[in-house]
């Protein structure tokens, strides 16, 4: 018997989060992002999608297509809180959970379903229970590999439940347009179409014939694609280690981007999240690492280690931006992340610290948490510690 791999994808997550916070938005066209000519739609509700609004679209264009569109700014900390509830819910069923992004995860249910008589009913109840407990809606894909599970969760939205066995591949996947295939990016799809590959079925047929044009376009990725389409591929779900050795957060952009301001904004939100978690867990780290995933799925890591551990938001943010500016400024980016590594408890630090200094550090941590919470409620970074304020320039 093969493994039972499940991919769970929260439906229109950011938009749904705003509906949970403000139920009057439910059923209305809602877009998440920044207003103005430079604003981009991060995601949108299904009601907005009926007007043609889509992720990655300029906000002014979305407003033209849907004049009644309600625009909500990104509240990343709030979304991360809901995301943690979601992951905690999934882990109540199985400990083997791999967080793929803020709104999706893979989970290994192989041992769990051995005790289940009606597997479809089991996953339908799980889906319904998530909604009852968190008000989050999700689609679930169940298969023997991670690729097929991911394709299954994408197949029916919202609140879909799709099983894809190896024998189901021709009926479910082959008719789908090429753009629907996970792993085929916006740059690769036009090249494949130029040689007559329009559907996943076309791609499968050309893989079977060892087509040279296809090999040239996909390169080393060709064998991976061939395995995926034939029901092979990875079935290993990499769960987080029991002992926490780092605190990190990452996010996938809803559209590939090289906009430095947009990337800086995401680093800022991630830094706040990492700092807040470190403070709550009474941890400090001496290494700050960033991860950058290109649109081509190539992943890069860069880090820097300090003599003195930190959990300060400003330090984490500034360091992340400097690492990015120095190493990755010209890249077209799909995902960015920040990780605070080499964690220690301040009480276990080997250096000598006076009681006054330790209590001051504790007070600073509580102050940062309070400021972060107030800024979240104000929906802007209006508050900061006096020591962080820039001194006013003297008039000449």
**Catalytic annotation, residues:** 104
C-alpha to C-alpha distance for 85 and 82, rounded to whole angstroms: 5
Buried b (16+ CB within 10 A) or exposed e, 141-169: bbbbbbbbbbbbbbbebeebbbbbeeeeb
Q: How far apart are CA 308 and CA 95, in angstroms?
A: 34
Residue 20's contacts (CB-CB under 8 Å, 6 or more residues apart) are 82, 134, 135, 136
């Amino acid at each position: 018997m093969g493994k039972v791999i499940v991919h769970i994808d929260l439906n229109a997550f950011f938009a749904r989060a705003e509906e949970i916070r403000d139920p009057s938005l439910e059923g209305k066209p809602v877009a998440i992002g920044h207003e103005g000519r430079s604003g981009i739609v991060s995601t949108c509700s299904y009601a907005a999608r009926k007007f043609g609004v889509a992720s990655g679209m300029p906000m002014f264009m979305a407003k033209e297509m849907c004049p009644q569109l309600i625009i909500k700014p990104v509240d990343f900390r709030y979304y991360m809180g809901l995301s943690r509830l979601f992951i905690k819910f999934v882990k109540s069923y199985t400990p083997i959970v791999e967080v793929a992004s803020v709104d999706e995860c893979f989970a290994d249910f192989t041992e769990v379903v051995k005790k289940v008589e009606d597997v479809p009913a089991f996953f339908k109840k799980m889906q319904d229970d998530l909604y009852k407990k968190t008000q989050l809606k999700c689609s679930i894909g169940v298969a023997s590999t991670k690729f097929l599970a991911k394709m299954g969760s994408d197949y029916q939205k919202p609140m879909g439940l799709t099983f894809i066995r190896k024998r189901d591949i021709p009926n479910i996947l082959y008719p789908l347009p090429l753009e629907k295939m996970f792993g085929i990016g916006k740059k690769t799809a036009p090249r494949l179409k130029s040689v007559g590959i329009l559907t996943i079925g076309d791609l499968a047929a050309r893989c079977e014939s060892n087509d040279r044009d296809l090999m040239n376009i996909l390169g080393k990725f060709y064998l991976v694609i061939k395995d995926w389409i034939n029901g092979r591929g990875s079935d290993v779900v990499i769960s987080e280690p029991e002992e926490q050795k780092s605190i990190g957060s990452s996010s996938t952009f809803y559209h590939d981007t090289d906009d430095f301001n947009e990337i800086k904004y995401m680093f800022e939100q991630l830094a706040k999240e990492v700092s807040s978690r470190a403070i709550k867990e009474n941890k400090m780290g001496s290494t700050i690492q960033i991860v950058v995933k290109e649109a081509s799925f190539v992943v890069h890591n860069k880090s820097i280690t300090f003599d003195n551990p930190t959990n300060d938001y400003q330090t984490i943010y500034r360091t992340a931006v400097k690492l990015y500016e120095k190493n990755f400024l010209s890249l077209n980016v799909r995902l960015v992340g920040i990780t605070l590594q080499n964690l220690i408890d301040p009480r276990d630090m080997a250096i000598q610290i006076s009681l006054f200094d330790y209590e001051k550090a504790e007070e600073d941590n509580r102050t940062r948490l309070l400021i972060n919470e107030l800024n979240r409620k104000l929906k802007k970074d209006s508050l900061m510690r006096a020591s962080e304020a820039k001194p006013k320039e003297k008039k000449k």
